[in-house]
Amino acid sequence: MSSTTAPSSIGTGQTARFDPSIAHLTHVPRRHYGRWIASALILAAFALVVKAFAEGQIDWPVVGQFFTAQSIISGLGNTIIMTICAMALGITLGVLFAIMVMSPNPVLKGIAVFYIWFFRGTPLLLQLLLWFNLALVFPRIGIPGLFEARMVDVMTPFVATLLGLGINQGAYTAEVVRSGILSVDAGQTEAAKAIGMTRLTTLRRIVLPQAMRVIIPPVGNEVISMVKLTSIASVIGFAEVLRNAQTVYYANARVIELLIVSAGWYLIIVTILSIGQHFLERYFARGSGRRSRPAAPSVVES
């Protein structure tokens, strides 16, 4: 309507400040010149790096040729199997020791505290070497009367790597699981008790599923580091992908080409895992209010 109805309480002669016609003007977004310049510089640097690699002393057809070589694929299989087994062992131990650390029983608590202290406090490489050389301490292993075996037969590179990586992982995962459990409101536990759940059922049905929201992101990161950590087992002769790549380049001297092959495979696995992590996180976020759900499908009302 008429602009003379502009607020009068401010004082006379100031109606221009509230000029209603401004509502019709076009909005111009802020210009981000800095971003454009930075992007251009980075793209130029990237192009130089790509050019250097393309023209460098790298025999790309050899990379292609070995990418699916039998020994690389079998090493890849071992890397994947070890990641799965070591992570499964690590998560199992992590949950177990997290529960023990929080237990009112001082013996269980003490054992768990010692475990976490020892395995977080020594280098992983040292632990691998310890497991692999356990035969020096215990030449024979077994339960008297039931079975017995020579330690060197039991402690194969696979078993030593599994124990080394899995048990070490458990010590870290225990702390992650513990903080996840602590993140769940105490009222949830009380409500679970009030409907007659025991301590363990409460943990399994109510607390752990909600703790998952906090646990999954760091454990996802740990799975991804585990994929790459398996490569240190090459020092005790476990035939994972990097070890097999090395075996090949000792023979044909194509060092960089085979390292690129391994790097490519690690990147592929990690990419797939990251996608999987995204979906897992979405699943465990259910009910947390951060996910917008479609309206519930209409239910037959009585």
Partner 1 sequence: MMPIVVATDVRKTFGSVQALNGVSIEIPAGQVLCIVGPSGSGKSTLLRCINQLERIDSGAIWVDGELVGYRRVGNKLYELTDSEIARQRLTNGMVFQRFNLFQHMTALENIIEGPVTVQKRRRNEVIDEAMVLLERVGLSAKRDAYPSELSGGQQQRVAIARALAMKPKLMLFDEPTSALDPELVGEVLAVMKDLARSGMTMIVVTHELGFAREVANEVVFMDRGAIVERGSPQEVLVHPQQQRTRDFIAAVLA
CB 86, CB 162: distance < 8 Å:
yes
Nearer to partner 1, 16 or 195 (CB): 195
Binding mask 173-202 for partner 1 (x = CB under 8 A): ------------x-xx-xxxxxxxxxx-x-
Instruction: Decide if residue 293 touches partner 1 (CB under 8 A).
Output: yes
Bridge partners of 149?
141
Q: How many residues bind partner 1 (CB under 8 A)?
A: 29
User: Residue 286 interacts with partner 1 (CB under 8 A)?
Assistant: yes
Q: How far is the CB of 293 from partner 1 (least distance, A)?
A: 8
Shortest CB 286 distance to partner 1, Å: 6
Q: Letter for the amino acid at 115?
A: Y
The Cα–Cα gap between 24 and 26 comes to 7
Contact segment (CB under 8 A) with partner 1 among 2-10, 68-76, 107-115, 288-296 equals: 288-296
Q: Are 63 and 145 in contact (CB under 8 A)?
A: no
Q: Are 207 and 188 in contact (CB under 8 A)?
A: yes
H/E run at residue 19:
none
Q: Least distance (Å) from partner 1 to the CB of residue 218? A: 19
Q: How far apart, in Å, are the Cα atoms of 283 and each of 84, 108, 184, 264?
A: 21, 33, 17, 29
> Could you tell me the smallest distance in angstroms from the CB atom of residue 296 to partner 1?
4
Contact between 100 and 112 (Cβ < 8 Å) = yes
- Cα torsion angle, 183, 213, 223, 132, sign: positive
CB within 8 Å of 202: residues ≥ 6 apart: 189, 192, 193
Q: Which is nearer to partner 1, 251 or 300 (CB)?
A: 300
Q: Residue 207 gets which letter from DSSP?
A: I
Footprint of partner 1 on 200-239 (CB under 8 A):
201, 205-206, 209-210
DSSP SS3 for 283: helix
Q: How far is the CB of 87 from partner 1 (least distance, A)?
A: 23
C-beta of 295: minimal distance to partner 1 in Å?
9
Query: What is the per-residue binding string for partner 1 in 243-282, x denoting contact by CB under 8 A?
Result: ----------------------------------------
Residue ranges that bind partner 1, judged by CB under 8 A:
185, 187-188, 190-199, 201, 205-206, 209-210, 284, 286-289, 293, 296-297, 299, 301-302
